[in-house]
Amino acid sequence: MADFWTDAERHLIRYSGAGGFVPEIIERAEGSFVHTADGRRLLDFTSGQMSAILGHSHPAVTATVQRQAATLDHLFSGMLSRPVVDLARRLAESLPDPLTKVLLLTTGAESNEAAIRMAKLVTGGHEIISFARSWHGMTQAAASATYSSGRKGYGPAAPGNYAIPTPNAYRPDFTTPDGQLDWRRQLDYAFEMIDAQSVGSLAACIVEPILSSGGVLDLPPGYLAALRDKCHERGGLLILDEAQTGLCRTGDWYAFQRDGVVPDIITLSKTLGAGLPLAAVVTSEEIERIAHERGFLFFTTHVSDPLVAAVGNTVLDVLESEHLDRRAAELGAHLSKGLTELAGRHAVIGDVRGRGLLIGLELVLDRATKQPANELGVAVTRRCLELGLHMNVVQLPAMGGVFRIAPALTSSFEELDLGLSILDQAIGEVAVTV
């Protein structure tokens, strides 16, 4: 085991900024648990990288991988296979009109890159708007539209990228007379600033319906519609990044359904492959036609790969047959209730928020001042791991006390209760020492 960590330190490039690797060797994973080399079982409250919505090593996914790898795994990118066309059709059928055209890729960053590239080509603009706490990926255009972390030291971002204030109901910057978030005034102010800087060349606004890395911040009802209108008024498209919110995670098939707002382009990843590298861009026939006529190019090594497309079809099969949208809503209500009860016992819990099985828990040093509890969040994370629960804390400036809780949609109520029990113990033990 010592050789493992020696080799890791000697040979691995560290890629997570200031954060380090979890100090456990993971040997296998199954369902809601990962198993370590020293025989410990950890309850996974983050679904891997927020992706394994069917749990780890789901039997249907395992069977599909084994079958597909033995028959058709990878092709020249200009060739098509039945799993690819089937998945494109089924994704289109799961979405409202006019979202009917699909591009299958590998990661969320890649799908956002393709969406932004398409928006620029179709509109003729180059300006991109996103939230000040956004995370859309680490490739060039996606990273240029990411403001929550990773901007310093890499030279100029793509020109024409602008950040607007993130609506945060727990920490409002614009308020109504009764102290609530005045998101309409905030949004109007944001676009006054955009108009002051813009050269009149807006291509798109890209946002998550619930900002995940930004602190699990759910956009207020009505916000998406107002944002869409402001984008369209300026000639831009609305791109929704549903990497973490799409495919039943929030209790709806897609998070935007709550608001009845259909985006011009939607990007999917994480949940679509249930842990395997699969992503998608979905748009309208009109936008695809204009892009194609203007020579849209996004020809990558693993575009339209059959193996992961077959897995995507299996993921849709399980979501449909097990009604996991309803299941996520039920489990989410149970989890939110349990977390709210924890807040009644622990004064360091300032806020519980989110939808379905994407929930944020924010720790604070003082409820009145809402002073962030970064060190406390790290300490609770460490203690949870010791007790058998893997939690994911937002490791961003002033957000280290926000937990992103995203268990598998196939979790049991008993597994959620186990996680709540461990979290309860961890907070109780750590809060008195930090």
Element (H, E) at 209: none
Is 96:88 a contact under the CB 8 Å cutoff?
A: no
Residues 6+ apart with CB under 8 A from 382: none
Residue 353 in tokens: 């928020």
Give every strand in the sheet of 279-284, ordered side by side. 99-105, 279-284, 265-268, 237-241, 202-207, 127-131, 161-164
Asked if 241 is an active-site residue, the reply is yes
Q: Find the catalytic residue in 110, 113, 208, 252.
A: 208
Please tell me the predicted confidence (pLDDT) of residue 396.
61
- Measured CA to CA in angstroms, residue 119 lies from 284, 288, 290 at distances of 12, 10, 10
Q: How far apart (Å, rounded) are the C-alpha atoms in residues 221 and 188?
A: 16
What DSSP state is assigned to residue 272?
Answer: G
Count of other CB atoms within 10 angstroms of residue 333? 13
- Measured CA to CA in angstroms, residue 431 lies from 348, 375, 404, 426 at distances of 7, 10, 19, 8
Asked if 270 is an active-site residue, the reply is yes
Asked if 7 is an active-site residue, the reply is no
Alpha-carbon radius of gyration of the chain: 21
Is 133:211 a contact under the CB 8 Å cutoff?
A: yes
Is 134:225 a contact under the CB 8 Å cutoff?
A: no
Please tell me the predicted confidence (pLDDT) of residue 400.
62
Count of other CB atoms within 10 angstroms of residue 302? 18
Nearest to 33 by CA among 22, 51, 45, 50: 45
Query: Coil, helix or strand for 146?
Result: coil
The pair phi, psi for residue 311, each rounded to 5°, is -65, -40
Asked if 183 is an active-site residue, the reply is no
CATH classification code of 72-321: 3.40.640.10
CA dihedral 115, 119, 121, 127 (to 10 degrees): -120
Q: Find the catalytic residue in 110, 127, 218, 241.
A: 241
Q: Where are the domains of the chain?
A: 2-58+323-430, 72-321
The pair phi, psi for residue 402, each rounded to 5°, is -105, 120
The pair phi, psi for residue 36, each rounded to 5°, is -95, 165
Q: How far apart (Å, rounded) are the C-alpha atoms in residues 359 and 419?
A: 13
Residue 46 in tokens: 């983050």
Count of other CB atoms within 10 angstroms of residue 3? 7
State in words which class domain 2-58+323-430 has.
Answer: alpha beta
pLDDT mean values, one per 10 residues, the chain (434 residues): 91 85 94 97 96 98 98 97 98 98 98 98 98 96 94 92 98 96 98 98 98 95 98 98 98 97 98 97 98 98 98 98 98 98 97 97 95 91 96 68 96 98 97 74
Count of other CB atoms within 10 angstroms of residue 38? 9
What DSSP state is assigned to residue 116?
Answer: H
Please tell me the predicted confidence (pLDDT) of residue 433.
72
- What secondary structure does DSSP assign to 281-338, as a single string? EEEEHHHHHHHHHTT-----TTTT-HHHHHHHHHHHHHHHHTTHHHHHHHHHHHHHHH
Asked if 230 is an active-site residue, the reply is no
Place of tokens 């200031």: 18
Q: How far apart (Å, rounded) are the C-alpha atoms in residues 5 and 25?
A: 9
Q: How far apart (Å, rounded) are the C-alpha atoms in residues 46 and 419?
A: 11
End-to-end CA distance of the chain: 32
Q: Find the catalytic residue in 244, 249, 325, 327.
A: 244
Q: Find the catalytic residue in 135, 234, 249, 327.
A: 135
What DSSP state is assigned to residue 200?
Answer: S
